Amino acid sequence: MSGKPKRIGVLTGGGDCPGLNAVIRAVCKTAMFDYDLEVFGIEDGYLGLIQNRIKPLTSMDASGILTRGGTILGTSNKANPAQYAIGYDENGDPRFEDVTDRCLEHLRHHHIDALVLIGGDGTMSGAAPFIEAGINCIGCPKTIDNDLVGTDLTFGFLTAVETATEAIDRLHTTAMSHHRVIVVEVMGRNAGWIALHSGVASGSDVILIPEIPYDLGKVCEFVEERSRWGKRFSLICIAEGAKSVGGEQVVAKIDPTSPDPVRLGGIAEILADDIERVSNIETRAVILGHVIRGGTPISADRVLATQFGHHAIEVLMNGESNRLVVCQDMKITDIDIRKAANKQRMIPADHPLIRAARAVGTCFGD
Amino acid sequence: MSGKPKRIGVLTGGGDCPGLNAVIRAVCKTAMFDYDLEVFGIEDGYLGLIQNRIKPLTSMDASGILTRGGTILGTSNKANPAQYAIGYDENGDPRFEDVTDRCLEHLRHHHIDALVLIGGDGTMSGAAPFIEAGINCIGCPKTIDNDLVGTDLTFGFLTAVETATEAIDRLHTTAMSHHRVIVVEVMGRNAGWIALHSGVASGSDVILIPEIPYDLGKVCEFVEERSRWGKRFSLICIAEGAKSVGGEQVVAKIDPTSPDPVRLGGIAEILADDIERVSNIETRAVILGHVIRGGTPISADRVLATQFGHHAIEVLMNGESNRLVVCQDMKITDIDIRKAANKQRMIPADHPLIRAARAVGTCFGD
Amino acid sequence: MSGKPKRIGVLTGGGDCPGLNAVIRAVCKTAMFDYDLEVFGIEDGYLGLIQNRIKPLTSMDASGILTRGGTILGTSNKANPAQYAIGYDENGDPRFEDVTDRCLEHLRHHHIDALVLIGGDGTMSGAAPFIEAGINCIGCPKTIDNDLVGTDLTFGFLTAVETATEAIDRLHTTAMSHHRVIVVEVMGRNAGWIALHSGVASGSDVILIPEIPYDLGKVCEFVEERSRWGKRFSLICIAEGAKSVGGEQVVAKIDPTSPDPVRLGGIAEILADDIERVSNIETRAVILGHVIRGGTPISADRVLATQFGHHAIEVLMNGESNRLVVCQDMKITDIDIRKAANKQRMIPADHPLIRAARAVGTCFGD
Amino acid sequence: MSGKPKRIGVLTGGGDCPGLNAVIRAVCKTAMFDYDLEVFGIEDGYLGLIQNRIKPLTSMDASGILTRGGTILGTSNKANPAQYAIGYDENGDPRFEDVTDRCLEHLRHHHIDALVLIGGDGTMSGAAPFIEAGINCIGCPKTIDNDLVGTDLTFGFLTAVETATEAIDRLHTTAMSHHRVIVVEVMGRNAGWIALHSGVASGSDVILIPEIPYDLGKVCEFVEERSRWGKRFSLICIAEGAKSVGGEQVVAKIDPTSPDPVRLGGIAEILADDIERVSNIETRAVILGHVIRGGTPISADRVLATQFGHHAIEVLMNGESNRLVVCQDMKITDIDIRKAANKQRMIPADHPLIRAARAVGTCFGD
Q: What is the pLDDT of residues B66-76, one digit of tens each?
A: 999 999 999 99
CB-based contact, B243 to chain C, within 8 Å: no
Q: How many CB atoms are closer than 10 A to CB D26?
A: 28
Strand partners, C40: C9, C56
Distances from the Cα of A121 to the Cαs of A156, B259, D285, in angstroms? 15, 44, 46
- The angle, 0 to 180 degrees and rounded to 10, between the axes of the packed helices D299-317 and A352-359 is 80
- Confidence band for B247, pLDDT divided at 50, 70 and 90: low
Q: How many CB atoms are closer than 10 A to CB A331?
A: 13
- Find which of A24, A169, A171, A177 to mutate to test the B interface (most B CBs within 10 Å of its CB): A177
Residues of chain A found within 8 Å of residue D295, distances taken between Cβ atoms: none
* Same fold across C7-155+297-340 and C160-293: yes
- Find the helix or strand (DSSP H, E) in which B60 lies: none
Question: pLDDT by residue (tens digit) across A48-90?
Answer: 999 999 999 999 999 999 999 999 999 998 789 999 988 888 8
Distance CA D31, CA D36 (A): 6
Distance CA C264, CA B278 (A): 69
Distance CA B303, CA C165 (A): 11
Question: pLDDT by residue (tens digit) across A303-333?
Answer: 999 999 999 999 999 999 999 999 999 899 9
- How much is the pLDDT for B251? 43
Distance CA A284, CA A275 (A): 10
For residue C257, pLDDT over 80 is answered with no
| Residue D183 DSSP code | E
Distance CA C15, CA D209 (A): 30
- Find the helix or strand (DSSP H, E) in which B213 lies: none
| Residue A130 DSSP code | H
Against chain D, the chains showing at least 3 CB pairs within 8 Å are A, C
Distance CA A227, CA D366 (A): 62
CA B159 from centroid of its chain's CA atoms = 11
Residues of chain D found within 8 Å of residue A197, distances taken between Cβ atoms: 299, 303
CB contact under 8 A, B290 and A289: no
CA distance B325 to chain C (A): 14
CB contact under 8 A, D16 and C178: yes
- Find which of D299, D316, D331, D353 to mutate to test the A interface (most A CBs within 10 Å of its CB): D299
Residues of chain C found within 8 Å of residue B63, distances taken between Cβ atoms: 231
- How much is the pLDDT for C260? 44
Q: How many CB atoms are closer than 10 A to CB A16?
A: 26
Distances from the Cα of D29 to the Cαs of C71, D112, D337, in angstroms? 50, 17, 23
Query: CATH assignment of D7-155+297-340?
Result: 3.40.50.450
- Find the helix or strand (DSSP H, E) in which D213 lies: none
Where are the domains positioned within chain D? 7-155+297-340, 158-293
Q: How many CB atoms are closer than 10 A to CB B264?
A: 18
* Radius of gyration of chain B measured on its C-alpha atoms: 23
Contact between residue B75 and residue B44 where contact means Cβ atoms under 8 Å apart: yes
Question: pLDDT by residue (tens digit) across C32-86?
Answer: 999 999 999 999 999 999 999 999 999 999 999 999 999 999 999 888 999 998 8
Query: CATH assignment of C160-293?
Result: 3.40.50.460
Least CB–CB distance from C356: residue in B63, B67, B307: B307
Burial of A163 from C-beta contacts in 10 A (0-12 / 13-18 / 19+): buried
Beta strands in chain C (DSSP E): 7-12, 38-42, 54-57, 84-88, 94-97, 114-119, 136-141, 181-186, 206-208, 234-239, 283-287, 323-328, 331-336
CB contact under 8 A, A173 and B15: no
CB contact under 8 A, B200 and C152: no
Contact between residue B68 and residue B23 where contact means Cβ atoms under 8 Å apart: no
Residues of chain B found within 8 Å of residue A182, distances taken between Cβ atoms: 290
| Residue C133 DSSP code | T
pTM: 0.95
- How much is the pLDDT for C265? 63
Best CA proximity match to A44, nearest among A20, A82, A17, A77: A77
CB-based contact, A343 to chain B, within 8 Å: no
CB contact under 8 A, C69 and D172: yes
CB contact under 8 A, C262 and D264: yes
CB contact under 8 A, A356 and D200: no
Residues of chain D found within 8 Å of residue C176, distances taken between Cβ atoms: 70
Distance CA A61, CA C271 (A): 48
Catalytic residue, chosen from C44, C113, C121, C145, is C145
Three-state SS at D10: strand
Contact between residue B174 and residue B180 where contact means Cβ atoms under 8 Å apart: yes
Distance CA D269, CA D251 (A): 10
Distance CA D145, CA D211 (A): 14
Distance CA A159, CA A186 (A): 13
CA distance B259 to chain A (A): 9
Which stretches within chain B are classed as H helix?
20-29, 35, 46-50, 100-109, 121-125, 128-132, 157-178, 193-201, 216-228, 267-279, 299-317, 337-340, 352-359
Best CA proximity match to C360, nearest among D335, B321, B21: B21
The rounded average pLDDT for each run of 10 residues, N- to C-terminus, in chain D (366 residues) is 81 96 98 97 97 96 95 91 90 91 97 96 92 96 92 96 98 94 96 98 98 96 94 96 73 43 69 94 94 96 98 96 94 90 86 98 97
| Angle, vertex CA A205, rays to CA B57 and CA D292, nearest 5 | 70
Best CA proximity match to D194, nearest among D232, D226, D238: D238
How, if at all, do strands C136-141 and C114-119 pair? parallel
Contact between residue B225 and residue B192 where contact means Cβ atoms under 8 Å apart: no
CB-based contact, A269 to chain B, within 8 Å: no
CB contact under 8 A, B167 and A291: yes
Q: What would the mean pLDDT of C4-33 be, rounded to a whole number?
A: 96
Considering only residues 74 to 133 of chain C, which have any Cβ-Cβ distance to chain B shorter than 8 Å? none
Active-site residues of A: which are they?
145
Greatest Cα-to-Cα distance within chain A, rounded to the nearest angstrom = 72
DSSP string, B304-343: HHHHHHHHHHHHHHTT--SEEEEEETTEEEEEEHHHHTT-
Distances from the Cα of D212 to the Cαs of C107, D167, D241, in angstroms? 51, 24, 11
* Dihedral over Cα of B204, B205, B210, B212: its sign: positive
* Dihedral over Cα of C71, C74, C76, C79: its sign: negative
CA distance C185 to chain B (A): 17
Least CB–CB distance from A299: residue in D33, D34, D201: D201
CB-based contact, A213 to chain B, within 8 Å: no
Q: What would the mean pLDDT of B26-43 be, rounded to a whole number?
A: 97
Question: pLDDT by residue (tens digit) across A205-229?
Answer: 999 999 999 999 999 999 999 999 8
Torsion of CA B264, B269, B271, B276, to 10 degrees: -110
DSSP string, A291-340: GGGSSPPPHHHHHHHHHHHHHHHHHHHTT--SEEEEEETTEEEEEEHHHH
Best CA proximity match to D69, nearest among D287, D307, D291, D239: D291
Complete edge-to-edge strand list for the sheet that includes strand B114-119:
B54-57, B38-42, B7-12, B114-119, B136-141, B323-328, B331-336
For residue C208, pLDDT over 50 is answered with yes
Best CA proximity match to A136, nearest among A310, A41, A7: A7
CB-based contact, B159 to chain A, within 8 Å: no
Three-state SS at C183: strand
Question: pLDDT by residue (tens digit) across A238-292?
Answer: 999 999 987 544 444 434 444 444 444 689 999 999 999 999 999 999 999 999 9
- Find which of A303, A331, A347 to mutate to test the D interface (most D CBs within 10 Å of its CB): A303
CB-based contact, D331 to chain C, within 8 Å: no
> Which ipTM value was assigned to this complex?
0.93
Distance CA C131, CA C271 (A): 46
Best CA proximity match to D270, nearest among D238, D297, D292, D293: D238
Residues of chain B found within 8 Å of residue A230, distances taken between Cβ atoms: none
Length of chain A: 366
Distance CA D27, CA D315 (A): 11
DSSP string, D276-329: HHHH---EEEEE-GGGGGSSPPPHHHHHHHHHHHHHHHHHHHTT--SEEEEEET
Active-site residues of B: which are they?
145
- Find which of A172, A173, A185, A232 to mutate to test the B interface (most B CBs within 10 Å of its CB): A173
Residues of chain C found within 8 Å of residue D44, distances taken between Cβ atoms: 179
Contacts of C241 (CB under 8 A, 6+ apart): C188, C189, C190, C191, C192, C209, C210, C249, C267
Nearest-CA residue of chain B relative to C169? B67
CB-based contact, D203 to chain C, within 8 Å: no
CB-based contact, D174 to chain C, within 8 Å: yes
Nearest-CA residue of chain B relative to C332? B352
Question: pLDDT by residue (tens digit) across A143-195?
Answer: 999 999 899 999 999 999 999 999 999 999 999 999 999 999 999 999 999 99
- Confidence band for C266, pLDDT divided at 50, 70 and 90: confident
Q: What would the mean pLDDT of C77-100 be, rounded to a whole number?
A: 89
- Find which of D51, D66, D76, D178 to mutate to test the C interface (most C CBs within 10 Å of its CB): D178
CATH 3.40.50.460 fits B158-293, yes or no: yes
How, if at all, do strands A38-42 and A54-57 pair? antiparallel
Distance CA B209, CA B190 (A): 9
Nearest-CA residue of chain C relative to B198? C299
Contact between residue C146 and residue C194 where contact means Cβ atoms under 8 Å apart: yes
